[in-house]
Chains A and B, each alone.
Chain A
Amino acid sequence: MAEPLVAIRNLKLEAGTARGRAAILRGIDLEIGRGRILGLVGESGSGKSSLAACLIGLTPANTSAISGEIRFDGQNLVGLDPTAFARLRGRRIAMIFQDPMTALNPLFTIGTHLVDVLRHRDPGLSRAAALSEATAMLVKVGIADPEARIAAYPHQLSGGMRQRVMIAMALLMRPDLLLADEPTTALDATVEAQIVELLAALRREVSGSIVFISHHLGLVAQLCDDVAVMYGGTVVETGPVDAVLTDPRHPYTRALIACEIDEDDAPGGRLLSIPGEVPDPVRPMTGCIFAPRCAHAVETCRSEVPELRTSGDGRRAACLRFEELP
């Protein structure tokens, strides 16, 4: 396989809280292939957004330590000087956020948002040229009447339309790495489907790689090439999306898929969930992070930290016992 665009090695992120040091990421190992879409899934609190924050260099203000390595096209992003990182943002790395209602500044028109980011990427661009480029991109992301929309304020657009604007903003950057943190969670189901279709259709526009964060395994299966399952600040299983979702090796992945199926059966809520609680980031990890909730845990699971091990063609799982599981 060609060298991946991003190679993350033993990435750890800690933050100081009132209750002590929180281990938000506990040693992430992950690769993002060139031109591929990686789905990042896991329960709330598993560290998906925090991983994205590390990739774009916007870690929380209370970060107390960040260690390990993020090789982005050969350059280590961990400990990168802030001005160098700011140059990467909006040029080589872009991001779409979960809530399009709050991700756009209410006091500025759509046009101002788009023109400002375009001129950050390309300072020589005139306002008029930037505006026409922005208008053309709005058409591409399926916004009708783009001239009127460009003069509109965010509150005058629907949620779905705002998310299209965010996507347009990201695509205008022609990024090598596009991070999309639950871009459809805040939208209702029909709009969600439209946005996912749009992202799928726009794949060709993005020459680079995409990280698609979602709770929704169905969407990930539909859109992504690879998947990484996160739990308690670690990656517990990763590999090509079809293989991992049809034949999960890690008990957590299995539990997650079981929940998803139940959810589809009973529309209206995530009624069935995995018994037990998400691990507290302030508590240190002694064995397998999932052991307290795992139906298959044995004594060694509580004392030995499992590494990600190859579990088949291009797949890896962090479970001591995946060979023995039924």
Chain B
Amino acid sequence: MTRLFKDERLGYVASRLLTTVLIVFGAMVLLFALTALVPGDPAKSLLGPQASPELAKRFIAEMGLDQPLHVRLWRFFGAVLTGNLGVDVISGKPVVQLVASVLPYTVILTFSAIGLSVLIGVPLGIHAATHRGSASDTILAFVSVAFIAVPSFVIAIFLLLIFAIWLDWLPVLGTSRSGEFLDEARRMILPTLALAAGWIGFIARLVRSSMLEVLGEPYIRTARAYGLSERLITYKYALKNACIPTIAILGLGIGRLLGGAVLVEIVFARPGLGRLVYEAVSERNFPVVQGAVLVVVVLFVVVNLIVDLSYSAIDPRIRRSSGQGAGA
């Protein structure tokens, strides 16, 4: 029985990995198409309207833009798979290097925001569900909805005004030059809060509604019929079930969170993927846009993969549905 179980799980992981790879390939084709088929002359848009025809011709040959589409697509795949995302047309640096230098900022910001929202949102959601209809439940509902409705960059601007400019408590703009940990941590506080605020409310609402649903399930009634304490029922029997929809939504929300991180980075003048893409777009620096977006896609897909796998670690029924089913 246990062996069967492990095999089922392996099968699930394998099928999930395969879809992940397919999604990344799909994204690559799409990105390639976007830059290859974008209307307008790439040489003109990159070199400017004043470039001489000879220069444009040489540029096009150098970039391989005169080759047929399938050859270019093939080359693009080959390059990406060997870790070559092209060259920044302005600075001449490899795009991989540019992305790698800013990626940690975005990743750390996003994950500390998720961590903070889970840490605060889950207990708030449980409290609201177990104190349904109380004054704290009502207030929480109100505040959560308000936070969800306001975009994170607006919260970022408010935090910036209040804490950095008005109260002058925290250093805010940019990152610490020295890379010193404490200083950097303090500079992270406001961006993390700005990014997490909506998510705290969102997770609190989500956990509340899933908890309420789970608490009405027959198996909770069974637990009550056997006199198990409300604490055990809430934190063990109900919370684990309520986590499943929460994790699913979290996985889907990662994309939105990354999008929010981009704007928050710009407000706080922090380095990161957001600023990189923003600047590259305004300079029509296509290789950088392409490379950075591809990295974001991979990040998104990998996080979703992790979420899905953790989901199956919690819920034994998912492991089964992909396998051939255990004997009953």
Give, as a whole number of angstroms, the nearest-CB distance from B183 to chain A. Answer: 44
> How many positions in chain B have a CB within 8 Å of any CB in the partner chain?
28
Q: Judge if B112 is at the interface, Cβ distance under 8 Å.
A: no
5 A-B residue pairings within 8 Å (CB atoms): A95-B222, A97-B221, A103-B221, A106-B219, A107-B315
Determine which of B217, B226, B320 lies in contact with A102 in the assembled complex, contact meaning CB atoms within 8 Å: B217
Provide the A95-112 mask, 1 if CB < 8 A to any CB of B, else 0: 101010011111110000
| Residues of chain B from 220 to 242 with CB closer than 8 A to chain A in the complex | 220-229, 232, 236-237, 240-241
Complex contact B328–A153 (CB within 8 A): no
Determine which of B236, B237, B314, B320 lies in contact with A155 in the assembled complex, contact meaning CB atoms within 8 Å: B320
Complex contact B219–A95 (CB within 8 A): no
Q: Judge if A17 is at the interface, Cβ distance under 8 Å.
A: no
CA distance A120 to B230 in the complex (A): 12
Determine which of A90, A97, A158 lies in contact with B227 in the assembled complex, contact meaning CB atoms within 8 Å: A90
Number of A-B contacts (CB under 8 A): 88
Complex contact A148–B1 (CB within 8 A): yes
Note all chain A residues with C-beta closer than 8 A to B219: 102-106
Give, as a whole number of angstroms, the nearest-CB distance from B16 to chain A. Answer: 20
Q: B interface vs A, CB < 8 Å?
A: 1-2, 217-229, 232, 236-237, 240-241, 314-317, 320, 326-328
CA distance A105 to B237 in the complex (A): 7
Complex contact B320–A88 (CB within 8 A): no
Note all chain A residues with C-beta closer than 8 A to B240: 107-108
> How many positions in chain A have a CB within 8 Å of any CB in the partner chain?
35
Note all chain B residues with C-beta closer than 8 A to A99: 218
Complex contact B1–A107 (CB within 8 A): no
Q: Judge if A58 is at the interface, Cβ distance under 8 Å.
A: yes
Note all chain B residues with C-beta closer than 8 A to A94: 225-226
Complex contact B227–A105 (CB within 8 A): no
Note all chain B residues with C-beta closer than 8 A to A158: 328
Complex contact A117–B228 (CB within 8 A): yes
Complex contact B314–A107 (CB within 8 A): yes
Note all chain A residues with C-beta closer than 8 A to B2: 151
Give, as a whole number of angstroms, the nearest-CB distance from A258 to chain B. Answer: 33
CA distance A90 to B327 in the complex (A): 31
Determine which of B222, B316, B327 lies in contact with A107 in the assembled complex, contact meaning CB atoms within 8 Å: B316
Give, as a whole number of angstroms, the nearest-CB distance from A112 to chain B. Answer: 9
The 3 lowest CB-CB distance pairs between A and B, nearest first, are A90-B227, A89-B227, A90-B226
Chain A residue with Cβ nearest B326: A156
Complex contact A90–B228 (CB within 8 A): yes
Give, as a whole number of angstroms, the nearest-CB distance from A202 to chain B. Answer: 18
Determine which of B232, B236, B328 lies in contact with A161 in the assembled complex, contact meaning CB atoms within 8 Å: B328
Note all chain A residues with C-beta closer than 8 A to B326: 152, 156
CA distance A237 to B74 in the complex (A): 84
Determine which of B227, B236, B320 lies in contact with A86 in the assembled complex, contact meaning CB atoms within 8 Å: B227
CA distance A173 to B236 in the complex (A): 21
Given A86-B227, A86-B229, A99-B218, 13 extra CB contacts under 8 A? A89-B225, A95-B225, A97-B218, A102-B217, A103-B221, A103-B222, A105-B223, A106-B241, A107-B316, A120-B227, A152-B326, A156-B316, A158-B328
Chain A residue with Cβ nearest B218: A102
Q: Judge if A225 is at the interface, Cβ distance under 8 Å.
A: no
Q: Judge if A270 is at the interface, Cβ distance under 8 Å.
A: no
| Residues of chain A from 251 to 283 with CB closer than 8 A to chain B in the complex | none
Complex contact A106–B317 (CB within 8 A): yes
Q: Judge if A228 is at the interface, Cβ distance under 8 Å.
A: no
Chain A residue with Cβ nearest B225: A95
Q: Judge if A242 is at the interface, Cβ distance under 8 Å.
A: no
CA distance A48 to B43 in the complex (A): 82
Q: Judge if A206 is at the interface, Cβ distance under 8 Å.
A: no
Q: Judge if A91 is at the interface, Cβ distance under 8 Å.
A: yes
Complex contact A58–B221 (CB within 8 A): yes
Give, as a whole number of angstroms, the nearest-CB distance from B266 to chain A. Answer: 42
Note all chain A residues with C-beta closer than 8 A to B237: 105, 108
Chain B residue with Cβ nearest A145: B1
| Residues of chain A from 78 to 92 with CB closer than 8 A to chain B in the complex | 86-91
CA distance A155 to B219 in the complex (A): 13
Note all chain B residues with C-beta closer than 8 A to A192: none
CA distance A148 to B2 in the complex (A): 8
Q: Judge if A56 is at the interface, Cβ distance under 8 Å.
A: yes
Note all chain B residues with C-beta closer than 8 A to A155: 316-317, 320
Give, as a whole number of angstroms, the nearest-CB distance from A69 to chain B. Answer: 22
CA distance A121 to B228 in the complex (A): 9
Note all chain A residues with C-beta closer than 8 A to B225: 56, 58, 89-90, 94-95, 97
